[in-house]
Structure 1
Amino acid sequence: MERLLLVILPCYKSSRTHTLVGKPIRDGYSVSVLSGWGLVYLALQAHNLSGHIVIQASSTKFVKPVISDIKSQSVFVSVQQREKFLARYRRKGIARIKLTSRICCADELCVVFSGAYVVHR
């Protein structure tokens, strides 16, 4: 079963600053939310589960300017984290998990997104 999901959004740089600004930065937030959501969705699907996935809370830390395509990678901390989350969902019909997404450009960390996702029936 997958522990990682990578979502890529091609972007164009500003000809003046050579960085991504405005709408592309908002797109980076959206791609980060989507990569975490998608990771939760795939975990549920792999175990023949379904539910409503919502983002409960989030924070974003901008480390460096984004200067190329947005590549947001979400990962479960461990197999145990994922399995505990799925077991709770099976038992209670609701579960919460914290995931981190990272946006990197040229293998350098640019943005760190942390989100709490809740799944309920």
Structure 2
Amino acid sequence: MKPHLLPEDIEAFLHGKIPVTKAMEIRVESYEDDRLVITAPLAANHNHLGTAFGGSLAAIATLAGYALLWLELGDKEAHIVIRSSKVSYDRPVRGEIRAVCVRPAESTLTRFRKNYERSGKGRIKLGVTIVEEDNVCVDFEGIYVAIR
């Protein structure tokens, strides 16, 4: 089973591997058995209207999926990339950006891990939502690929 890392360890990994996460002031709020929550302040990620910039929202959602997959895979040497994504912006984000990536079903993760172990490559679909005051503002779906 994978080791359970502290939020600050995950943050340090992300800041080291993806430097823009530091500029965006990305923080890992929590990593539980069923979800990963990443936050970023509006001040570092706003647009000309004073709401969260769409590019920042897409980047943070992409990052949440990336980080959850990295944690679930437990292989620090794996190359994780996003193959495709779909995002819908349903409401503006006017405060802190809070991206939630829910862990997929165990059967989905098992299939992904088996493919990765067998062929050195695995593909999985992950969903991320950005929520504010219990409202879904952004709905993101990404296909991620892990390569050994």
Global fold match (TM > 0.5)? yes
Normalising by structure 2, we get a TM-score of 0.70
Distance in 1 of aligned mates of 2:60 and 2:34: 17
* CA offset digits 1:23-47 (Å, max 9, x no partner): x3211111101100000000111xx
Structure 2 residue identity aligned to 1:88: N
Distance in 2 separating the partners of 1:102 and 1:69: 14
Secondary structure at 1:30 match in 2: helix
- Aligned-residue offset at 1:80: 1.4
Of 78, 82, 87, 1:51 maps to 78
Q: Distance in 2 between matches of 1:42 and 1:10?
A: 23
Match of 2:19 in 1: none
Match of 1:25 in 2: 54
1:6 aligns with 2:37: yes
Structure with more contact order per residue of length (Cα contacts < 8 Å, sep ≥ 6): 1
Query: Alignment RMSD, CA only?
Result: 2.1
Q: Any idea what SS the aligned residue of 1:26 has?
A: helix
Question: What percentage of residue pairs aligned between the two structures are identical?
Answer: 29
Residues in 2 aligned to 1:37 and 1:94: alpha-carbon distance in whole angstroms: 15
Taking structure 1 as the reference length, the TM-score comes to 0.84
| Structure 1 spans left out of the alignment, 5+ residues | none
1:3/1:90 CA distance change after superposition, 3 Å: farther
Cα offset, 1:75, TM superposition: 1.6
Q: Distance in 1 between matches of 2:56 and 2:76?
A: 29
Stretches of 4+ aligned residues off by more than 3 angstroms:
none
Q: Deviations over 1:48-105 (max 9, x none)?
A: 5741100000011011111111101112331111121111111111010000110001
Distance 1:98 1:52 in 2: 16
SS of residue in 2 equivalent to 1:90: helix
- How many residue pairs match? The answer is 115
Gaps of 5+ in 2: 3-32
